[in-house]
């Protein structure tokens, strides 16, 4: 009896032989082995990626810490420099202020002495003039 038609093209049904089944099983075993190899490779890649991510994270954190230390060192240096400048400027201003106080004191002393001497000079002239009149020597 001829094979029964199976579809629109009326293609006859073909039966597999034991050899065909052996080849299919062999191919299936190869595919499953390849799948296992791919899964193992993906697991290995996943572990390597996790290690890489951990190492990169650690390297970035270490670099950030080093950068922070360098920046803080520079800030400390700038602060020390500014403090030294402030101290120097304060010392200079104190010396200038002391010089101005001394100059002011000397000027005031001179003015007081000059005013006093001029005042005593006028007093002396007035007494001299009075004495001359009293003794009859003057106008």
State whether residue 12 is helix, strand or coil.
Answer: strand
Torsion of CA 75, 76, 78, 83, to 10 degrees: 140
**Residue range 71-117, pLDDT digits in tens:** 999 999 999 999 999 999 999 999 999 999 999 999 999 999 989 88
Query: CA-CA distance, 78 to 94, in Å (whole number)?
Result: 24
Domain boundaries, the chain: 15-102
What pLDDT, on a 0 to 100 scale, did the predictor assign at position 10?
65
**Residue range 39-73, pLDDT digits in tens:** 888 899 999 999 999 999 999 999 999 999 999 99
Query: CA-CA distance, 37 to 53, in Å (whole number)?
Result: 24
């Amino acid at each position: 009896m001829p094979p029964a038609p199976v579809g629109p093209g009326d293609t006859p049904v073909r039966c597999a032989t034991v050899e065909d089944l052996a080849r299919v099983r062999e191919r299936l075993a190869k595919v499953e082995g390849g799948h296992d190899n791919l899964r193992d490779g993906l697991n290995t890649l996943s572990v390597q990626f996790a290690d890489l991510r951990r190492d990169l994270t650690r390297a970035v954190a270490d670099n950030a810490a080093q950068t922070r230390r360098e920046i803080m060192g520079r800030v400390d240096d700038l602060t020390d420099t500014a403090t030294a400048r402030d101290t120097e400027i304060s010392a200079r201003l104190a010396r200038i202020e002391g010089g101005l106080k001394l100059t002011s004191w000397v000027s005031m002393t001179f003015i007081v002495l000059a005013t006093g001497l001029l005042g005593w000079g006028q007093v002396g002239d007035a007494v001299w003039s009075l004495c001359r009149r009293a003794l009859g020597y003057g106008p």
